[in-house]
């Protein structure tokens, strides 16, 4: 498969330059997995801190007498800032890459956590959540770009390894909330600022690698801001735009359903099965582990068989499980929630790499759109679901949301070319 993005700048080098290019490539490849795993570790810390926000919803709801609608607006404040800013950050850094912006983004998260730990009013909680979302908006587009730069052609695997760090962070948040925040209260959130400082240190080193790797890239033509890239799929600009819109709709359906589980799963278990807050957090942890497993499998399999089959599997597998889940007992609710998480999550790395192949040279914009805009739409959906839960019941939310997955049938309209297997030449 031809790929002319900056992830493999020497792939089309002339034979006269073969020796220096191979030497540079060998030097870069020797640090590839170190960089990807470091990014994954920072993604773990980043998303662990962010996942504290939904994990402490029961505490905030009791302490401030919040309605489900107000809880939904906390999710909206958190995800909407990321939605608004991530595509903008991605578009800007496509033109002017900022190697040390990853560290700056983590700084926003640090400030948001400090404010959240000392928030004494609902508006302050919203501002704190919005700042944490801003940290996400800066971190994800550039981190996704660096993961692709370090991929060595195995883009699905690189993105899944990067993403699985975030999934592990999301999974650990509820456990840490159960063991630390629930017994010790809202102010104990300040302890997690240490994780932000560790991540900032690691990201500073990654910024060095990023800056040096860019120095190995081909020099841009005079008067141009970046190296030209050529799309190999042969699709018209209009078809690319339509296809990206379809991909956003696919992620929207999955993210809204995932938001219904991530934001309200503990309330659902506490209401329907009368579980304690801490016990419900363990079920949420199991759900997050399902997302981790699905993400890892989706990236690896997508490199082998192509992106489209993975997306189809995610749709056809998740819908029937989601429809059955509201009618299950406690044991099967836990089993089905983990299963549907695995199946749904398998599509994300496939969709992301598919979009990167559609838009070579726009890795930051793609990362911003799919980490930011689509997740922001999920946050908007979470706010709407909270209002529905207030007007009806939390059970109604779980009866209605599975039908959103029917939007996944839009996969039938995706062109095949960008999603072919890595080994296809």
User: Does the global pTM surpass 0.85?
Assistant: no
The yes-or-no verdict on residue 158 having pLDDT over 50 is yes
Residue 110 lies in a domain: yes
Domain span at residue 77? 20-218+235-419
Instruction: Provide the domain count of the chain.
Output: 1
User: What does the block give as tokens for 52?
Assistant: 């504290």
Residue 30 lies in a domain: yes
- pLDDT at site 108: 92
C-alpha–C-alpha distance, residues 252 and 83, integer Å: 12
Read off the pLDDT band of 201 (50, 70, 90): very high
- Three-class secondary structure assignment of 369-416: HHHHHHHHHHHHHHHHHHHHHHHCCHHHHHHHHHHHHHHHHHHHHCCC
The helix/strand count (H/E) of the chain reads as 17, 0
Residues 277-284: what's their mean pLDDT?
A: 83
For the ranges 39-43, 200-204, 379-383, the lowest mean pLDDT is seen at 379-383
Residue 6 lies in a domain: no
Read off the pLDDT band of 208 (50, 70, 90): confident
Contacts of 417 (CB under 8 A, 6+ apart): 233, 234, 235
Of 260, 242, 237, 244, give the one whose Cα is nearest residue 374. 244
Q: What percent of the chain has pLDDT over 70?
A: 84
Contacts of 304 (CB under 8 A, 6+ apart): 421, 422, 423
The yes-or-no verdict on residue 161 having pLDDT over 90 is no
Residue 8 lies in a domain: no
User: What does the block give as tokens for 196?
Assistant: 């932000």
Query: Which residue has better confidence, 85 or 43?
Result: 43
User: What does the block give as tokens for 422?
Assistant: 């890595």
C-alpha dist (Å) from residue 160 to 7, 269, 293, 334, 388:
16, 30, 10, 24, 34
C-alpha–C-alpha distance, residues 62 and 249, integer Å: 35
Residues 88-92: what's their mean pLDDT?
A: 81
Of 248, 8, 46, give the one whose Cα is nearest residue 148. 8
C-alpha–C-alpha distance, residues 317 and 342, integer Å: 10
Of 181, 159, 348, give the one whose Cα is nearest residue 248. 348
**CATH classification at residue 175:** 1.20.1250.20
pLDDT, tens digit, 9 for 90 and up, residues 108-128 = 999 999 998 888 889 999 999
Read off the pLDDT band of 5 (50, 70, 90): very low
Residue 269 lies in a domain: yes
Read off the pLDDT band of 26 (50, 70, 90): very low
Query: Which residue has better confidence, 423 or 73?
Result: 73
């Amino acid at each position: 498969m031809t790929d002319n993005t900056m992830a493999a700048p020497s792939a089309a080098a002339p034979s006269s330059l073969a020796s220096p290019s191979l030497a540079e490539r060998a030097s870069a490849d020797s640090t590839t997995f170190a960089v990807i795993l470091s990014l994954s570790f920072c993604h773990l810390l980043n998303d662990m801190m962010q996942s504290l926000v939904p994990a402490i919803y029961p505490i905030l709801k009791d302490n401030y007498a919040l309605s489900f609608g107000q809880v939904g607006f906390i999710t909206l404040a958190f995800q909407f800032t990321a939605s608004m800013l991530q595509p903008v950050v991605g578009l800007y850094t496509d033109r002017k890459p900022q190697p040390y912006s990853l560290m700056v983004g983590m700084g926003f998260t640090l400030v948001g956590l400090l404010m959240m730990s000392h928030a004494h009013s609902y508006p302050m909680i919203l501002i704190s959540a919005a700042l944490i979302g801003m940290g996400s908006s800066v971190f994800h587009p550039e981190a996704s770009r660096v993961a692709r730069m370090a991929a060595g052609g195995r883009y699905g695997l690189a993105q899944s390894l990067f993403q699985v760090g975030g999934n592990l962070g999301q999974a650990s948040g509820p456990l840490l909330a159960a063991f630390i925040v629930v017994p010790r209260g809202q102010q104990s959130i300040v302890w997690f600022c240490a994780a932000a400082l560790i991540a900032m240190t690691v990201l500073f080193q990654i910024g060095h690698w990023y800056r040096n790797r860019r120095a190995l890239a081909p020099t841009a033509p005079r008067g141009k801001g970046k190296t030209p890239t050529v799309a190999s799929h042969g699709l018209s600009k209009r078809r690319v735009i339509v296809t990206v819109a379809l991909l956003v709709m696919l992620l929207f359906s999955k993210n809204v359903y995932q938001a219904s589980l991530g934001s309200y799963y503990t309330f659902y278990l506490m209401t329907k099965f009368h579980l304690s807050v801490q016990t419900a957090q363990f079920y949420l942890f199991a759900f997050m582990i399902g997302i981790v497993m699905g993400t890892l499998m989706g990236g690896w399999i997508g490199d082998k068989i192509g992106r489209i089959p993975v997306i189809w599997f995610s749709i056809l597998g998740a819908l029937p499980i989601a429809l059955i889940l509201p009618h299950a007992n406690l044991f099967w609710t836990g089993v089905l929630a983990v299963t549907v998480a695995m199946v749904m999550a398998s599509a994300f790395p496939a969709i992301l790499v598919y979009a990167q192949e559609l838009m070579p040279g726009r890795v930051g914009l793609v990362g911003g759109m799919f980490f930011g805009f689509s997740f922001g739409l999920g946050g908007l959906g979470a706010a709407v679901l909270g209002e529905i839960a207030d007007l009806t019941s939390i059970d109604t939310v779980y009866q209605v949301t599975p039908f959103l997955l029917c939007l996944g049938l839009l996969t039938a309209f995706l062109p095949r070319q960008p999603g072919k297997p890595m080994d296809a030449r």
